């Protein structure tokens, strides 16, 4: 079956530090890959996505590249801000007859301090 493994948190960084959150996946077929973010007290929001191998998703300074050879989709940001503090979920999607089915990782909490 499909599964997503991401690094455990919490990850604590100083403002302007470089961020990497590792994510690897197992899937049949050709999944699409996503990073979702959950800010305190809010619902999940799509941060970025990549739908095929070697695609790079990017948004708000965050980037992730779909690496089929290593089955990875690591999230990176060059300089984090306090406002980036949130829980980040890596996910994959496979298309079924009725729509897309998302499989999530366990989430990584990021804390950014001044």
Question: Which residue ranges make up the site for another protein (CB under 8 A)?
Answer: 4, 32, 41-46, 49, 51, 89, 91, 93, 95-102, 104-107
Instruction: Give the contacts of 105 (CB within 8 A, at least 6 positions apart).
Output: 4, 5, 6, 23, 89, 90, 91
CB of 88 to another protein, least distance (A): 11
Smaller CB separation from another protein, 40 or 70: 40
* Closer residue to another protein (CB): 14 or 53: 53
Please compute Rg for the chain using Cα positions.
14
Shortest distance in whole angstroms from residue 32 CB to another protein: 5
Q: How far is the CB of 103 from another protein (least distance, A)?
A: 8
Nearer to another protein among residue 49 and residue 77 (C-beta): 49
Close Cβ partners of 48 (under 8 Å, ≥ 6 residues apart): 34, 35, 57, 58, 59, 62, 63, 64
């Amino acid at each position: 079956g499909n599964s997503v493994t991401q690094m455990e948190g919490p990850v604590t960084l100083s403002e302007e530090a470089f961020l990497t959150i590792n994510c690897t996946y197992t899937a049949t077929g050709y999944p699409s890959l996503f990073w979702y973010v959950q800010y305190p007290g809010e619902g999940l929001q799509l941060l970025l996505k990549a739908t095929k191998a070697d695609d790079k998703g990017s948004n708000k300074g965050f980037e992730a590249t779909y690496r089929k050879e290593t089955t990875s989709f690591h999230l990176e940001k060059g300089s984090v801000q306090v406002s980036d503090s949130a829980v980040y979920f890596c996910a994959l999607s496979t298309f079924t007859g009725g729509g897309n089915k998302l499989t999530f990782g366990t989430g990584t909490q990021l804390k950014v301090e001044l």
